[in-house]
Every structure is written in C-alpha cells, then in structure tokens.
C-alpha cells in the first residue's frame, strides 16, 4: 500500500518523496505532534490552509479505506459551543485502512482522521461503511480557533502496533536478530563492542591484526549502496548520531570498496566507518544482528513512548520530559518528536472529556489562572461538541477506547512507503537483424513497457537491462533519450552471469523484490537466446540448464514473468519445424520457471512477432487515407532517427505490443499463462 498525504501539492523536480510529504503536511507549530503548546497530548497535527488568498486544496483519503464515520459540518461555527477561542468547524471523516505486509501476509489496521473540515463531500457522507480509493476527495479544510486549517491524525490499537513494529514497548531488542516475517527499507546491523574492522574481506588474511576493534556499540546502515555508522550520543537522550556528523575525521576509503557489499566464502562483508577510520566487517559473525526498517530501529530515531500512566490528557511522560530537558534546540526536539509513537487516550471521546481535562481546573505552568466553573463549563461544552466517539460503530469504539497509539502522520506515511517499493525489469537481447525496422525493436518494446508501468502509477524502481553485443553508442543514445524522458534507468550487461547477478542483487533485492520481469529477445525452444547467432551466444543465453542461477526468492508475492521470446513454452528442444504436434509444454522453460519461482509466467508456444513494433500495416494504410497527424509525426521521428543511428525509433517506445507469430501453424497463438504446480 502506497500512502499519500491528505493535501497534494506539486512535487518539485529536485524534491525527494519524503521531503514532498513533509511539505504537504505543513504543520502549525503550536498544534504539533505529540504535545501542543499547552503541554497536553495531541494525537495529530494541524495543517494550515496554505493557499493564501485562494481556494484551499481539497482534503483527500491517504489510502484506500472504509468510511467509518462522517459528520456534516455545522453552519454555526461562530457561536457557542463551537466558537471557543474563535470560529471552529466540526466536519469529520474517519477512515479505517488495512495495510498488508510480509510473507506470510499480515494485515495491519490503522485509522486516519480529518477533523475541522469546512465541507464534507456528499458521496463520502452517504458512503459510510463502504470503501473509497486513495486520493478520493473527502472535503475541504475549515477553521480552528479562527485560523484556517484542519486536524489530521493516524492511530492504531495495541494489537496492530505489535503487528506493525514487532513490539509494543521500549527499544528494539538487539540481543537477537530482527523479524523475518516483515522486512523492507534499509538494512541495519548491530555491532557489539569488540567487533573487529579488517583491512580486507579476504578470509585468508583474517589472521592479520584488525585495523580497529570497537569499544562501544555501533549501528551500521546500508542504504542505496551507501553505508554509514551511528553511535549513541554521549550526551544521552537516546540520540544516535552518524560518525561523520559527530565530527570524526574519516580517511578516504577506496572508491570501489566503500559502500559496497562483498560476498566472500558465502559471508557478507561491508566496508563501514568506525571512529577514526573505516574497515571491513564480517556481518555474519556471531553477535552481529541484522534488521530492517520494518523493525522501527531506535537508533534511526524511532521511540515507543508508553510511560504516562495518568488517564488525563496532560503529558506526564518521563521520556518526553527528559527530551525537553536534554535537547536544547527546537529543531532537534521536533525531529525527536517526529519519530515518536505515543500511547495516550483518544482525543475525541466525550465520555472521558471530564477526566482527561480536569487538570485544567488546577494551577499549572501552562494555564494560568486555572479554570473557574464558568470557563470550565464553556470549555467542556466545546470539547463535547467536537467529540464523536459515542457515535462510532462498536468495533471502532473497541479499537479506539482507552489509550491508543498515535503517529506523526508524515513519519508514518514516509516510513510505510518504504515497504511499497518493487522493481520492474525489462531485459533486452541482442538483435541479429540489422535492417532499420528490426534493429531497435527489442529496445522499443522495453521502453513501451517501462512507460506503461510508470503511467499506471506503480511505485517502484524501473530498470532496462540490455545485452551489449551488437549495439553501438548511437543505439544507446536512443535508449538514453527515452530513459531521461520517463525516468527509468538502464544498465548494460555483457553476459548471462551479469544478468543473474543483477536479478539476484539489484540495488537491494532484500528490500526491493521484482514485481515484473519482461523479456524481449530472440527465442529458441525453451531458451532465451539473448545472443542469437552471435559467436558468444552460449554466454548470453538463459535456458533449462542455467535458469536456476537466479535466486528463487527475488520476486514479490505478486510477481510475474512476461516472455516475448519465441517458443518459451515449446518444451521440445527439437520443436523448430512449421508443424509440431507434441510441444510438451509441461516440460517447457515457461512451466519450469513458474514452478521454480512460484509465480505466473506468460509465454508463447509458437514464435512471437515484433513486426508491428513501429506500426501495423493497417495503421500505415489508414494514415495515408485520413492523414493522421499523430502517426505522421511518429513516422517523421523514425525517419530522422534512421539517419542518426540507422534504425527506426520513437522516444516513446514501440507503438504496438508484441504479437503472436504464425509457426508452428497448428499450435495455439494464445499468450499462455503458466501457473506453479
């Protein structure tokens, strides 16, 4: 599940997804999470109306979810009881979402709430109990105490926090490895005191003295081919700083080594920093434990705060109070709050308003003077008018009763989105035909599929792997133009060993599985002939003898393989004639791969056809008759590219999909689905 912020602003070209989410969830500093300016727990954030002088951006559903409760806004927001410190809207939409993570799958239920809406859409009001899609407009931002803005929060109960974080109290247990049922995001390693850092990952040199032996606990994070080390700040307050940020001067590590994972004798080594230098650490050594972002590691900032035993709304958490005392600058304190997951009473329960806010009737440093009976009654009436707990269905009341877990919305959204990344890969083989129509047909089809996946709004990594044999710089220039336009990457590979390595490792295959693997190449019976008729063809092919060099676990649970090579489903190795009566599809590469990877494989038992890649004959004839400007423009582009690189090419990729060929004549031309058996 890919989450979105409730307010959608245009993402800047240089802006990361995380920075964009934070900008969309712009927060009123006096109504921040988890504590407001009065020292009270605050279950969400107030998002001001940021469109000064214009119409507010609509408030949207952050993910698919069930409409649990809606309240139509009152038109008397400038009167008591809604007008307490200023006009306040009371429109509400409460959604229940189900997040599915892990293998085997785990369903995690959480709630998102929009309060103080000026308007709630009719389809939402009338849709209680039904599902709505992510991005559905719920309504518009209203006013809170006379200021434009609305309240937004995300919360869950004890059971679902345990499912989500793997624990419901304290720091991550570093005496044992992290969870294996749910993993995503960055890799993290706990290095106990006494961990040796070596000059080389070579086991044969292990008898040599280490460069350094740690005298404190260190935490290594491996992300996007980068490695950095954290250690706990000596000042306390459970803050973990990167060594490079702690003022330690680090010597330059070899460029080819630093930040790489190296496998040596089946042991994973990582070149990482230590105080004063860098060296190689054997990450499979005893005492070193591995985790992922799914463990919500405390050294990355996450804190589970559950130490306020009072039932009122005043924040009496010793942990929060310690942060406030030890962290002097506001920016660092806000960042500590950002990753806090806090357990305290649900804010909108009218049955507990009196007990939760009774502290306001006593002298305290936040509210002076204490509330007298008239001011207390006015506040009580206001709080009750905004509450709605008693109107919720029974299952929602059960989930949100008592003390529930609250998240900073931006932290929750950006973190959960780390679990949503998958990779879409297109593999391009060499092309033996050098005529203009065929030379770049495989590349054109790969670009078509990259464009297709990206336009569908799929979040992930998009990669074209292209075998180098037979292609020249002028051909890569065509692919480069498409990659720049659509934002995918491409990688040249020399042989099948390179292909296996990338499929197995990717940028981080542990965290980014393959969702779609589409193959565009020549094909022989049960063989991907990536180097068809080239002298090095044997080193480029994938067939029944070597496909198991690919790790069987590289695919996501919804993964699939699309083969657009000829005869992947033939089975018979001698099945190359124009008529075949016994294709043996159950012994084909398509079926074998479906069984091996435990995913569907789509393939042809006959030859495939790339003849319509740059336009079908019917399209060309129709264009001549009706003078289609779109087709004529593409035709002109291809003519220009023939002069540039000797081959037809459109920057948007192929016009038409790969189709079925004609032979063997007597077999089906269906694009067949092979399921695991």
Q: What is the pLDDT of residues 262-318, one digit of tens each?
A: 333 334 778 888 888 888 888 889 999 999 999 999 999 999 999 998 888 999 999
Residues 6+ apart with CB under 8 A from 478: 440, 443, 641, 644, 645, 647, 649, 651
Do both 257 and 137 map to the same domain?
no
pLDDT in tens, 429-451: 999 899 999 999 999 999 999 98
What share of the chain has pLDDT > 90, as a percent? 64
Is residue 6 a part of any domain in this protein? no
Note the pLDDT of residue 186.
Answer: 85
**pLDDT tens digits along 126-142:** 999 999 988 899 999 99
**Structure tokens given for 342:** 């806090």
Q: Which long-range contacts (CB under 8 A, 24 or more apart) does 145-149 make?
A: 145/84, 145/85, 145/86, 145/87, 145/88, 146/85, 146/86, 146/87, 146/88, 147/28, 147/48, 147/86, 148/48, 148/49, 148/56, 149/28, 149/31, 149/46, 149/47, 149/48, 149/49, 149/116
Q: Determine what percent of the chain is predicted with pLDDT higher than 70.
A: 90
Q: Is 252's pLDDT higher than 60?
A: no
Q: What is the pLDDT of residue 310?
A: 85
The pair of structure tokens assigned to 430 is 């060499």
Residue 173 within any structural domain of the chain: no
Domain that holds residue 656: 421-674
Structure tokens at 508: 């981080």
Are 531 and 453 in a shared domain? Answer: yes
Could you tell me if 325 and 412 lie in one domain?
A: yes
Which among 56, 50, 7, 48 has a CA at the least distance from the CA of 31?
Answer: 48
pLDDT at 298: 93
Q: Which of 668, 662, 659, 667 is nearest to 611 (CA)?
A: 659
CA–CA distance, 501 with 518 (Å, rounded to integer): 17
In this predicted structure, the answer to whether residue 14 has a pLDDT above a threshold of 80 is no
SS3 432: coil
Pairwise pLDDT comparison (574 vs 213), residue with the higher score: 213
**Average pLDDT of span 328-347:** 93
Q: Give this prediction's pTM.
A: 0.65
pLDDT number for residue 235: 54
Q: Give the pLDDT confidence score for residue 579 in this predicted structure.
A: 75
pLDDT tens-digit profile of 536-573?
A: 899 999 999 999 999 998 987 678 999 999 999 998 77
Residue 233 confidence (pLDDT) above 90: no
Predicted local confidence at residue 470, as pLDDT: 92
Cβ contact 566:608 at 8 Å: yes
287 shares its domain with 341: no
Listed residues 384, 400, 417: the one ending a domain: 417
Are 525 and 571 in contact by the 8 Å Cβ rule? The answer is: yes
Judge whether 3 lies within some domain: no
Is 10 inside any structural domain? no
Strand, helix or coil at 116?
strand
Residue whose pair of structure tokens reads 């990450």 in the numeric block? 283
Please report which confidence band the pLDDT of residue 373 belongs to, taking 50, 70 and 90 as the band edges.
very high
Dihedral angle computed from the Cα positions of residues 422, 423, 424 and 427, in that order, rounded to the nearest 10 degrees: -160
Q: What is the DSSP letter of 198?
A: B
| CB-based contact 530:572 (threshold 8 Å) | no
Examine the fold and report which residue of 246, 262, 295 is the final residue of a domain before the chain moves on: 295
For residues 283 and 310, membership in a common domain is answered with no
* Mean pLDDT for the stretch of residues 418-434: 89
How confident is residue 199, by pLDDT bands cut at 50, 70 and 90?
Answer: confident
Domain boundary among 280, 295, 310: 295
Tell whether 311 and 287 lie within a shared domain.
no
Q: What is the 3-state secondary structure (H, E, C) of 39-82?
A: CEECCCEEEECCCCCCCCCEEECCCCEEEEEEECCCCCCCCCCC
Same domain, 376 and 443: no
2-31 average pLDDT score: 86
Assigned domain for 5 exists: no
The H-or-E segment that residue 24 falls in is helix 17-24
Q: Do 351 and 469 reside in the same domain of the chain?
A: no
pLDDT of residue 264: 35
Residue 2 lies in a domain: no
pLDDT average, residue stretch 160-167:
96
Are 603 and 551 part of one and the same domain? Answer: yes
Averaged pLDDT, 58-87: 95
pLDDT of 592 > 50? The answer is: yes
677 or 105: which leads in pLDDT: 677
Query: Is the model's pLDDT at 230 over the cut of 70?
Result: yes
Residue, of 310 and 46, whose pLDDT is higher: 46
The total number of structural domains that make up the chain: 3
Least confident residue range of 198-202, 456-460, 591-595, 629-633: 456-460
- pLDDT of residue 370 exceeding 80: yes
What pLDDT is attached to residue 213?
Answer: 94
Q: What pLDDT was estimated at residue 257? A: 28
| pLDDT over threshold 70, residue 528 | yes
Beta bridge partners of 291: 188
Which tokens hold the place of 77? Answer: 């927001």
Question: DSSP letter string over 140-168?
Answer: EE-EETTEEEEEEEEEE-HHHHHHHHS-S
Same domain, 543 and 459: yes
Assess whether pLDDT exceeds 70 at residue 511. no
Closest CA to 443 of 429, 432, 461, 454: 429
For the ranges 235-239, 325-329, 378-382, the lowest mean pLDDT is seen at 235-239
Q: What is the pLDDT of residue 575?
A: 58
Q: What are phi and psi for residue 595, nearest 5 degrees?
A: -70, -40
pLDDT at 251 over 50: no
| Residue 428 and residue 391 share a domain | no
Q: Which residue has the higher pLDDT, 42 or 263?
A: 42
User: What is the pLDDT confidence band of residue 459, given thresholds at 50, 70 and 90?
Assistant: low
As to burial, measured by CB atoms within 10 angstroms (0-12 exposed, 13-18 middle, 19+ buried), residue 228 is: middle
pLDDT value at position 259? 34
Q: Are residues 241 and 309 in the same domain?
A: no
Position 554 in a domain: yes
In this prediction, residues 409-419 reach a mean pLDDT of 92
Is 171 a domain residue? no
């Amino acid at each position: 599940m890919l989450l979105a912020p409730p307010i959608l602003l245009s993402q800047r070209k240089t802006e990361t997804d995380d920075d964009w989410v934070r900008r969309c969830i712009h927060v009123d500093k006096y109504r921040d999470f988890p504590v407001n300016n009065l020292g009270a727990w605050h279950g969400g954030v107030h998002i001001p109306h940021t469109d000064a002088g214009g119409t507010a951006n609509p408030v949207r559903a952050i993910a698919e979810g069930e409409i649990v409760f809606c309240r139509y806004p009152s038109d008397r927001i400038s009167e008591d009881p809604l007008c307490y410190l200023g006009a306040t809207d009371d429109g509400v939409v409460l959604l229940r979402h189900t997040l599915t993570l892990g293998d085997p799958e785990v369903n995690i239920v959480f709630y998102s709430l929009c309060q103080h809406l000026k308007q709630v859409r009719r389809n939402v009001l009338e849709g209680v109990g039904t599902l709505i899609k992510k991005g559905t407009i719920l309504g518009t931002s209203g006013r809170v105490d006379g200021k434009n803005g609305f309240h937004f929060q995300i919360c869950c109960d004890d059971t679902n926090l345990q499912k989500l974080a793997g624990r419901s109290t304290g720091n991550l247990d570093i005496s044992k490895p992290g969870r294996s049922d749910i993993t995503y995001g960055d890799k993290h390693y706990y290095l106990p005191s006494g961990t040796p850092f070596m000059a080389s990952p070579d086991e044969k040199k292990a008898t040599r003295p280490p460069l350094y032996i740690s005298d404190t606990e260190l935490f290594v994070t491996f992300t996007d081919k980068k490695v950095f080390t954290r250690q706990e700040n000596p000042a306390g307050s459970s803050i973990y700083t990167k060594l490079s940020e702690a003022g330690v001067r680090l010597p330059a590590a070899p460029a080819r080594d630093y930040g790489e994972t190296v496998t040596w004798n089946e042991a994973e080594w990582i070149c990482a920093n230590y105080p004063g230098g860098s060296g190689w650490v054997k990450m499979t050594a005893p005492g070193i434990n591995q985790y992922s972002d799914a463990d919500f590691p405390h050294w990355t900032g996450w804190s589970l705060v559950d130490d306020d035993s009072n039932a009122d709304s005043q924040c009496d958490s010793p942990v929060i109070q310690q942060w406030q005392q030890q962290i002097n600058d506001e920016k660092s304190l806000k960042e500590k709050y950002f990753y806090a997951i806090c357990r305290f009473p649900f804010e909108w329960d009218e049955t507990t308003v009196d007990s939760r806010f009774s502290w306001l009737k006593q002298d305290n440093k936040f509210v002076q003077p204490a509330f007298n009976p008239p001011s207390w009654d006015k506040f009580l009436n206001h709080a009750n008018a905004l509450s709605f707990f008693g109107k919720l269905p029974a299952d929602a009341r059960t989930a949100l009763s008592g003390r529930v877990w609250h998240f900073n919305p931006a932290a929750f959204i950006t973190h959960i989105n780390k679990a949503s990344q998958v990779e879409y890969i297109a593999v391009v083989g060499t092309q033996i035909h050098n005529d203009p129509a065929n030379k770049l047909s495989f590349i054109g089809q790969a670009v078509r599929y990259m464009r297709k996946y990206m336009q569908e709004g799929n979040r992930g990594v998009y990669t074209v792997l292209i075998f180098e044999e037979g292609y020249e710089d002028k051909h890569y220039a065509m692919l480069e133009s498409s990659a720049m336009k659509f934002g995918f990457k491409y990688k040249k590979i020399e042989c099948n060993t390179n292909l296996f390595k990338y499929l197995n490792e990717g940028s981080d295959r542990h965290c980014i599985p393959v969702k779609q693997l589409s193959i565009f190449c020549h094909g022989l019976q049960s063989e991907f002939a990536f180097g068809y008729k080239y002298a090095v063809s044997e080193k480029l092919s994938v067939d029944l003898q070597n496909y198991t060099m690919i790790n069987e676990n590289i695919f996501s649970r919804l993964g699939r393989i699309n083969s657009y090579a000829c005869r992947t489903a033939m089975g018979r190795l001698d099945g190359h004639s124009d008529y075949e009566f016994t294709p043996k599809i159950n012994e084909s590469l398509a079926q074998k791969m479906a069984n091996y990877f435990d995913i569907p494989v789509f393939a042809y038992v006959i030859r495939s056809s790339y003849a319509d890649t740059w336009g079908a004959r019917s399209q060309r004839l129709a264009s001549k008759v009706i003078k289609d400007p779109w087709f004529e423009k593409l035709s002109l582009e291809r003519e220009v590219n023939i002069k540039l690189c000797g081959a037809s090419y459109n920057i948007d990729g192929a016009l038409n999909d790969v189709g079925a060929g004609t032979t063997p004549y007597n077999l089906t031309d269906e694009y067949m689905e092979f399921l695991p058996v």
